[in-house]
Structure 1
Amino acid sequence: MSAELRRILFLSHSHAFRTFRVGSHHYAREFARRGAEVVHLSTPISHVHRRLGRVSRSEASRVPRGPHRDRDGVTHIVPRTTMPTPFGRLTAGRELQHHGIDTRFDAVLIDQPLLWDDSIRELTDRLVYRPTDLYPAGVKARMQKSIIAAADGVTATSSEVLRALGPLRQPHLVLGNGVDTAHFIASAEPERADVCIYVGALDRRFDWQQVCAWARARPRMRFVVVGPSPAPPVMLPDNVELSGGVPYSTLPTLLHSARVGMLPLSDDPLNAGRSPMKLYEYLAAGLSVVARATPVLGADESAGLFTYSDENSALAALDDALSHASPNVAGVERARQQSWSAKTDLLVDFVLKLPRR
């Protein structure tokens, strides 16, 4: 790690004590492994969210109170507040001071607009905004404008997310999500059974109707949906299985039991800018992939990625993915090129070239 990047602060939308990982978790790990002191501060757990049921008691109980240093050396902080951000009194600087952590950093990378306040600018000479989603309106959109006005650089997770920011005065680039290849890659193995799997969030951006349509059209196949969720909004065919949330450590074994990874994105406009982390995790685990096409997601049939644009083409894309070689060796090679280590190399190079304030 460069001597100029010894202390890094991530201000992130998601903490690391859930069953899934996001980009800031992987970047924090990579920086720490390279010898940097890394602090990862995420959206607080508020009393209001607890009362409204948006954060369950079991989830809150899994989150340490105060700083927690993980085995990679990253210090994680998940504040506890009365009001949700940005309506309470929380500021990143005060939270760090409260825990006795030095508030000067060589770089600050923020992906959660709701954590922004003007004092963050005082924490570093290199402030990088790392938008991971589209914010067309609302509080996040307003706060995003303030971040952009203050930031020294911008790294967006997709070309669509970058485009939506409008003209930028500062250096910027697209740095899509990557994959922890070593975690997901499988050893030599026989051809897999006809199992299709989805692992991830099950919110409005997930197309339950499409999964049901596939399952009805291919009743002899198993469709496994993995992710924390309330009851699905539709009646599921008998060959669709719900597995609930699973720990990140067990995902490789689960994926190695399947042949096809599904990315059934709904028609929610926010899907246009997504850089799905699961794409490369599927490929690294040796699966072929069937996904709805977006401005970001396009077909790469030689690597086992098949896309569809509507109901008429969705079944054909699934059948193409099922017919692809299994395990998907070509997909594994494509995933290797998108490792978090390689992404971190690019991020470090970008940050070091930013003008210091």
Structure 2
Amino acid sequence: MLAQRGVEVVHVSTPLSLSHRVTGRVDRAKVDVLPRGPHRDADGITHLVPRTLLPAPLGRFRMARELGRHGISPRFDAVLIDQPLLWDSSVRALAPRLVYRPTDAYPGGVKAALQRRIIAAADGVVATSSEVLRELGTVRVPTLVLENGVDAARFTTSADTPRGAVCVYVGALDDRFDWQRVDAWARANPEVTFTVAGPDARPPAELPSNVDLRGPVAYDALPALLQGARVGLLPLSDDPLNAGRSPMKLYEYLAAGLAVVSRATPVLREDDGAGVFTYAGAHDADAALVCALAHISPNAAGVSRAAGAGWEAKAAALVGFVEGLPVRGGVG
């Protein structure tokens, strides 16, 4: 949305290291098709995926040097950093306004240490949830909570035919995903199809036949997949990182007309009027699913809620916040 507003945007991804490629932590086939330098997409955003020998921050990667090496001037009006592993002292000097955008809580480890350095250097903080902001502790610069949003028009359909008993999850299938919960739901509801779409699916045990593992789904194919389901699933595990998550999938599900069932967190709360049902644990997870399946389909109230979370409004809020920050010269 920033690019559509006429902003020149450069997006730098976390570096792909040789050790990640050798050990198989990243898909070599996907790496091979990535451009080795800057490339501009259809929205006018310049993307750069650096390649390094060692993982960040262990290697000698420096942001300003990497940008200059690819002919990108290392000077911007503002820099937003949301990945602590991308931090090094050269980032502060890239722009007169530096904004940290935490998307997860980091209770310890390398990311927590780097996060403290970023906050000490930042001019402002834009957190994706109030819980993520709270986990930062005392912050002495301006802050804003700006939850993730949705391209509502992409996912909304005019069809009003009630949908069948299909539940869907689309997203990462890492430690934050609760396979046991999906397995239990599927066994308790054999008449319901549970579609799970995402890369590298590794369930801990054999799943019932009514669980359909789809693998990764292209973004362009996602609206059709969601519009064929009745309920969107957010089966979050006990991973501490889930406490502050603001999943974009919540609003994508709602925009596509689905009811939603999610594990309750400080961020994800019940809104039965909009078709969002939550559970605390195994004792009430089945009841939440039953309520979601019984909710009116398509979920018109959810579509309305999603419409209020569009990226256009969020981009405007972000630009206003950044422009209101004090300007200072870069420091090394």
| TM category, shorter | over 0.9
Q: Could you say which residue in structure 2 is the equivalent of 1:9? A: none
1:150-169: CA deviation from partner (whole Å, max 9, x where unpaired)? 00000011111101101011
Q: Could you say which residue in structure 1 is the equivalent of 2:117? A: 146
Q: Could you say which residue in structure 2 is the equivalent of 1:163? A: 134
> Is the CA contact (8 Å cut-off) linking 2:201 and 2:215 kept in structure 1?
no
Percent identity between the aligned chains? 65
Q: Could you say which residue in structure 2 is the equivalent of 1:338? A: 309
User: In structure 2, how many angstroms separate the alpha carbons of the residues matched to 1:152 and 1:81?
Assistant: 29
Q: Could you say which residue in structure 1 is the equivalent of 2:250? A: 279
Query: Any gaps of 5 or more consecutive residues in structure 2?
Result: none
> AA paired with 2:152?
T
User: In structure 2, how many angstroms separate the alpha carbons of the residues matched to 1:64 and 1:181?
Assistant: 30
> Is the CA contact (8 Å cut-off) linking 2:163 and 2:298 kept in structure 1?
yes
1:300-340: CA deviation from partner (whole Å, max 9, x where unpaired)? 00000000111111111001001111000100000010011
> Is the CA contact (8 Å cut-off) linking 2:152 and 2:306 kept in structure 1?
yes
> AA paired with 2:184?
A
User: In structure 2, how many angstroms separate the alpha carbons of the residues matched to 1:34 and 1:56?
Assistant: 34
**SS of residue matched to 1:228:** coil
Q: Could you state the TM-score of these two structures normalised by the residue count of structure 2?
A: 0.97
User: In structure 2, how many angstroms separate the alpha carbons of the residues matched to 1:315 and 1:112?
Assistant: 36
Residue 235 of structure 1 deviates from its aligned partner by: 1.6
Residue 188 of structure 1 deviates from its aligned partner by: 2.2
Residue 230 of structure 1 deviates from its aligned partner by: 4.0
1:104-138: CA deviation from partner (whole Å, max 9, x where unpaired)? 10110000101101111111011000000011111
1:228-280: CA deviation from partner (whole Å, max 9, x where unpaired)? 02431122011001000011110000000000000000111111111111000
Mapping of residues 1-357 of structure 1, within 5 Å: 30-357=1-328
User: In structure 2, how many angstroms separate the alpha carbons of the residues matched to 1:247 and 1:68?
Assistant: 20
User: In structure 2, how many angstroms separate the alpha carbons of the residues matched to 1:176 and 1:346?
Assistant: 11
**SS of residue matched to 2:2:** helix
User: In structure 1, how many angstroms separate the alpha carbons of the residues matched to 2:58 and 2:167?
Assistant: 42
Residue 222 of structure 1 deviates from its aligned partner by: 0.4
> AA paired with 1:118?
S
**SS of residue matched to 2:91:** helix
> AA paired with 1:323?
A
> Is the CA contact (8 Å cut-off) linking 2:201 and 2:213 kept in structure 1?
no
1:79-104: CA deviation from partner (whole Å, max 9, x where unpaired)? 11111111111111111101111111
User: In structure 2, how many angstroms separate the alpha carbons of the residues matched to 1:61 and 1:320?
Assistant: 45
Residue 223 of structure 1 deviates from its aligned partner by: 0.4
1:187-238: CA deviation from partner (whole Å, max 9, x where unpaired)? 2231111100000000111111111111111101100000002431122011
User: In structure 2, how many angstroms separate the alpha carbons of the residues matched to 1:57 and 1:33?
Assistant: 32
**SS of residue matched to 1:290:** strand
**SS of residue matched to 1:118:** coil
The change in CA–CA distance for 1:344 and 1:99 in structure 2 (over 3 A counts) is: same
User: In structure 2, how many angstroms separate the alpha carbons of the residues matched to 1:231 and 1:161?
Assistant: 28
User: In structure 2, how many angstroms separate the alpha carbons of the residues matched to 1:343 and 1:35?
Assistant: 15
User: In structure 2, how many angstroms separate the alpha carbons of the residues matched to 1:331 and 1:57?
Assistant: 39
Moved more, 74-83 or 57-66: 57-66
Q: CA RMSD in A?
A: 0.8
Q: How many residues align?
A: 328
1:9-30: CA deviation from partner (whole Å, max 9, x where unpaired)? xxxxxxxxxxxxxxxxxxxxx1
Query: Any gaps of 5 or more consecutive residues in structure 1?
Result: 1-29
> Is the CA contact (8 Å cut-off) linking 2:125 and 2:144 kept in structure 1?
yes
Q: Could you state the TM-score of these two structures normalised by the residue count of structure 1?
A: 0.91
Moved more, 297-306 or 177-186: 177-186
User: In structure 2, how many angstroms separate the alpha carbons of the residues matched to 1:62 and 1:257?
Assistant: 31
User: In structure 2, how many angstroms separate the alpha carbons of the residues matched to 1:249 and 1:98?
Assistant: 33
User: In structure 2, how many angstroms separate the alpha carbons of the residues matched to 1:202 and 1:114?
Assistant: 22
Q: Give every structure 1 segment of 4 or more consecutive aligned residues whose post-TM-superposition deviation is greater than 4 Å.
A: none
User: In structure 1, how many angstroms separate the alpha carbons of the residues matched to 2:41 and 2:300?
Assistant: 33
